[in-house]
Copies of this chain bind each other. A is one copy, B any other.
């Protein structure tokens, strides 16, 4: 079972890295870029498991709350595939 966790800064949190990328894209000639946000992609290989995908999703949410994301400034999105 494989899981993907996308971690994004909350909308109201400034993203200096994203701003730097936006400016750099402009400098390279890519016009019309309005906003860039940089987050994390975390891919987890859970091996074979007897757990249902609902249980696995719950477990991933716990992992995200405890380690993968900082719930104060970040949101996360979890998806599971076989």
Q: Is the CB of B41 within 8 A of A6?
A: yes
A14 at the interface (CB under 8 A from B): no
Chain B residue contacts of A40, Cβ below 8 A: 38-41
- The size of the chain A interface, using a CB distance under 8 A, is 32
Residue of B7, B21, B47, B66 near A42 (CB, 8 A) is: B21
For the complex, what is the distance from the CA of A63 to the CA of B32, rounded to whole Å?
Answer: 13
Q: For A42, what are the chain B residues with a Cβ–Cβ distance below 8 Å?
A: 18, 21, 36-39
A35-B44 in contact given A30-B63, A59-B30 (Cβ < 8 Å) = yes
A46-72 CB contact bits vs B (8 Å, 1 = yes)? 110100000000010011001110000
